[in-house]
Amino acid sequence: MTKTLSLNALSLNRLGVSVGIPLAAVLLALALGALLVLAIGVPVGEALAAFADGAWGSDYAIAASINRALAFSLVGFGFVLAARANLTNVGGEGQIAVGGMLATAMSLYGGAAQLPGPLAWIAPLAVAALGGALWGALAGVLKAKAGTNEVISTLLLSFIAVWLLYWSVQSEALLRQPMNNSATLPESLEIPELTRLPLLTGDAGFPLHVGLPIAIVLALVVAVVLARSVFGFQLRAVGLNPVAARKAGIPLTRSIVAAMALAGALGGLAGGFMLQGDQYVLKAGFSSGYGFDGLVVGLLARGSIPGVIAGALLFGFMRSGGINLEMSANVPTALVGVIQGLIILLLAAAAFWIERKESAR
Amino acid sequence: MSPEILAVFCGSTVRLAAPLFLAATGELVSERAGVLNMSVEGMMLTGAFAGAVGSWATGNPMLGLIIGVIAVIPVALLQAFLSNTLRANQIVTGIGINILVLGATTLAYREIFGARSRSEIPGLAKWAPPGLGELPVFGEALFRQTWLLYLGLALIALTAWVLARTALGLSIHACGVAPKAADKSGLSVTRTRYAAVLFTGIMSALAGCFLSIGDIHTFTEGMTSGAGYLAIAAVIFGNWKIGRTLLACLLFGAATALQFQLPALGIEVPNALLIMLPYLLALLAVGGLVGRQTAPAALTVPWRA
């Protein structure tokens, strides 16, 4: 009896550490952000109102924030999955770019719109995920075969993908829309109606799309795979001690490549969501920072899927609010960058105390 | 290719490689000591911004340069504190600092300059080594550069000498390869790594100042646009050796300079591919296709005494 009680107290304490510290960090960063708003000379109330309005002030704003959060959460799930094998996937940005490019190609020129029923939007998503998987697997192969540090390779692959994306929308031979005059923008055509992700309510005023249920299912799948499956166990074994894992007969190369490929697939899917769910047009700035935000969400979640969801929602609402901050209150969006940076650094610093508490147990 | 075009090409290669030289040398020292400074991008941006503001406010680019270097110290100390004292994940802290600095400099730039964003910022003077500057064709195009470039080259030569020939260089190497042994022999790993990160900061600030007050005499939001990551790529491509790192910077500079030269020669290569080239080369290098790469054994591993 006393044993269960103390166990409960322990897990409550652990909950306090894993929720309390991040919450404190977020609040502290927001307070510092408010001070900055004051320093700029904008009334805090006005800035807050503009932020809230952009983040959750209307049905449209709420849906846009959640749609953003979906992309962050997918990259975050991928990060957590790879992290289980002690792999750090810094490549979300590139995987999103690859996913976005392939989803565009499939939607515009791959005949996706002619496919029957929901296949019209599922096929581009699948191609996006596949492309992301290959992009991620590349880093996995380099890691397993050449011992290349995956932090470095995924970072380099991100830059390569971002410039490939830039090229693809600059070149008419690739994805750029046909140039009718010199003012034709360097971006793709709009993707056909049928290839867009269906809206859950069918109402463009509340454009929450079918990516939400997909992401929820994926969250459950990733959580179950990590906690209950043989593959999840193998990943953890590889992460904890690759030498022992190999001795125990776990295929090292295959586990590493599979982990990176799955993380990449989730990143590619995030790119598909962004293109088919709310942007509809491929532009050079398509992936701007989404992969890095997703990476940070994954990092801050410290291996927990609910943590990824919480962080993704936070970042999704912050981004939407920040955009409105600039439009209605004349506070540069850059403020959100400052707050995000502060949150990341505060949490990175807090990890020190969290780990000390955990190891003290 | 006519000698004139070649001279202009060489000149712009060196000019574009110069900030990479500085930042990559700084990054190299810190990586050799075991700290992967992803924040080199943010450090460069800090230097570029503070240097520009300082130069604009005082009307003196030399003071601007000094202010740029001073401004980077808190940023470098933050990185050093997080990664060495709190043993935080070096990638997280680096990206966090980059996001923070990009936001902070953008915000501050709009506040300080606002409508005055077109106002002239005094820049560093150009200088050519006596004799070389008078060479036909190449003298003007290649050797007449911002004097900071020559100061930078001297600093890099000094760094190479320290790394290769002094006890300090040996300590740095030991901290990155075998921190435990270094600690046993009475060396303070933490202190060495703090100093290495601080050195990266100063070199990156000089690199940033080269961009803002050395090269284009203005500041634009996020003007480093990935140069810091390029510096990291150069260190990797250079296999953590200073000579090869500098060569990599030169190669990256040449790839960037080609963007402006190729159209003049009537060759159409998409810009994006040339900008991508350095990253692709670095990837091939770390993939083992350009010889075996060996990173310092304790790179990114926090030290616990």
Question: Which among B113, B286, B290 is the top mutation candidate for probing chain A, defined by the most A β-carbons within 10 Å of its own β-carbon?
Answer: B286
Classify A1 as helix, strand or coil: coil
Q: B107 and A88: CB-CB below 8 Å?
A: no
Please report the residues numbered 107 through 146 in chain B whose beta carbons come closer than 8 angstroms to any beta carbon of chain A. Answer: 107, 110-111
Q: B287 and A334: CB-CB below 8 Å?
A: no
Query: Residue B25: enclosing H or E segment and its boundaries?
Result: helix B3-32
Q: Which residues of B touch A164 (CB under 8 A)?
A: 272, 276
Number of separate helices (H) and strands (E) present in chain B: 12, 2
Query: Residue B235: enclosing H or E segment and its boundaries?
Result: helix B227-237
β-bridge partners, B289:
B291
Q: Which residues of B touch A87 (CB under 8 A)?
A: none
CB A348 within 8 A of CB B88: yes
Q: What is the pLDDT of residues A45-77, one digit of tens each?
A: 888 899 999 999 999 999 999 999 999 999 999
Q: Is the pLDDT of residue B3 over 60?
A: yes
Please report the residues numbered 83 through 102 in chain A whose beta carbons come closer than 8 angstroms to any beta carbon of chain B. Answer: 88, 90
Q: Which residues of A touch B97 (CB under 8 A)?
A: 341, 345
Q: A338 and B100: CB-CB below 8 Å?
A: yes
Q: Which residues of B touch A30 (CB under 8 A)?
A: none
The answer to whether B300 faces chain A, any CB pair under 8 Å, is yes
The answer to whether B259 faces chain A, any CB pair under 8 Å, is no
Q: Is the pLDDT of residue A306 over 80?
A: yes
Nearest CA in chain B to A139: B287
Please give the pLDDT value at position A2: 43
Count Cβ neighbours within 10 Å for each residue of A166-200 and write b for 16 or more, e otherwise. Answer: bbbbbeeebbbbeeeeeeeebbbbebeebbbbebe
Please give the pLDDT value at position A8: 53
pLDDT band at A44 (very low <50, low <70, confident <90, very high): confident
Please give the pLDDT value at position A7: 47
- Smallest Cα–Cα separation from A279: which of A169, A164, A189? A189
Torsion of CA A166, A169, A171, A173, to 10 degrees: 130
The structure tokens listed for A1 are 């009896």
CA dist A80 and B30 (Å) reads 28
- In this structure, how many other beta carbons lie within 10 angstroms of the beta carbon of residue B259? 17
β-bridge partners, B291:
B289
Handedness of CA B259, B284, B222, B144 (dihedral sign): negative
Q: Which residues of B touch A340 (CB under 8 A)?
A: 99-100, 103
Question: Which among B45, B89, B99 is the top mutation candidate for probing chain A, defined by the most A β-carbons within 10 Å of its own β-carbon?
Answer: B99
The answer to whether B269 faces chain A, any CB pair under 8 Å, is no
% of residues, chain B, pLDDT over 70: 97
Q: What is the pLDDT of residues B165-203, one digit of tens each?
A: 999 999 999 999 999 999 998 889 999 999 999 999 999
Q: What is the mean pLDDT of residues B124-153?
A: 85
CA dist B69 and B51 (Å) reads 8
Please report where in the chains the tokens 């320290």 appear, as a residue: B162
CA dist B94 and B21 (Å) reads 20
CB B283 within 8 A of CB B290: no
Q: Give the type of residue at A303.
A: G
CB B225 within 8 A of CB B211: no
R_g (Cα) of chain B, nearest Å: 19
Classify B266 as helix, strand or coil: coil
The answer to whether A295 faces chain B, any CB pair under 8 Å, is yes
Please give the pLDDT value at position B69: 97
Q: Is the pLDDT of residue B88 over 60?
A: yes
Question: Which among A88, A90, A93, A156 is the top mutation candidate for probing chain B, defined by the most B β-carbons within 10 Å of its own β-carbon?
Answer: A156
CA dist A276 and A196 (Å) reads 5
Nearest CA in chain B to A348: B88
Please give the pLDDT value at position A289: 83
User: What is the DSSP secondary structure assignment for residue A112, as one 8-state letter?
Assistant: G
- Smallest Cα–Cα separation from B61: which of B149, B123, B126? B123
- The separation between the first and the last C-alpha atoms of chain A, rounded to the nearest angstrom, is 20
CA dist A232 and A52 (Å) reads 40
Work out the angle between the directed axes of helices A230-240 and A252-273 (0-180°, nearest 10). 110
Least confident among A287-301, B59-73, B285-299: B285-299
The answer to whether B284 faces chain A, any CB pair under 8 Å, is no
The structure tokens listed for A209 are 């799309």
Q: B103 and A337: CB-CB below 8 Å?
A: yes
Handedness of CA A192, A194, A198, A199 (dihedral sign): positive
CA dist A19 and A15 (Å) reads 6
The structure tokens listed for A38 are 């004051």
| pTM summary value | 0.88
Q: A163 and B279: CB-CB below 8 Å?
A: yes
Question: Which among A87, A344, A355, A356 is the top mutation candidate for probing chain B, defined by the most B β-carbons within 10 Å of its own β-carbon?
Answer: A344
Tally the C-alpha atoms within 13 A of residue A326's C-alpha that lie toward its C-beta: 14
Please give the pLDDT value at position A1: 40
pLDDT band at B68 (very low <50, low <70, confident <90, very high): very high
> Which of A20-34, A148-162, B65-79 reaches the highest mean pLDDT?
B65-79
Please give the pLDDT value at position A102: 97
Q: Which residues of A touch B78 (CB under 8 A)?
A: 345
Tally the C-alpha atoms within 13 A of residue A245's C-alpha that lie toward its C-beta: 22
CB A215 within 8 A of CB A69: no
Torsion of CA B114, B54, A336, B200, to 10 degrees: 150
Outline where DSSP puts E strands in B168-270. Answer: none
Classify B95 as helix, strand or coil: helix
- φ/ψ (deg, to 5) at A211: -60, -30
Nearest-CA distance B178 → chain A (Å): 18
CA dist A198 and A175 (Å) reads 23
Q: A349 and B99: CB-CB below 8 Å?
A: no
- Measured between CB atoms, which of B36, B97, B111 is closest to A345? B97
The answer to whether A244 faces chain B, any CB pair under 8 Å, is no
CA dist B36 and B283 (Å) reads 17
Q: B89 and A351: CB-CB below 8 Å?
A: yes
Please give the pLDDT value at position B63: 96
- Smallest Cα–Cα separation from A72: which of A215, A245, A260? A215
| Residues whose CB falls within 8 Å of the CB of residue A33, separated by 6 or more in sequence, listed in order | A335, A338, A339, A342
Residues in chain B: 305
Q: Which residues of A touch B271 (CB under 8 A)?
A: 170
Q: Give the type of residue at A39.
A: A
Find the DSSP H helices in chain A.
2-15, 21-40, 44-56, 59-84, 92-109, 119-141, 150-170, 211-228, 230-240, 242-247, 252-273, 290-300, 305-329, 334-360
Please give the pLDDT value at position A16: 67
The answer to whether A37 faces chain B, any CB pair under 8 Å, is no
The answer to whether B89 faces chain A, any CB pair under 8 Å, is yes
% of residues, chain A, pLDDT over 70: 94
Q: Is the pLDDT of residue B299 over 80?
A: yes
Q: A142 and B287: CB-CB below 8 Å?
A: yes
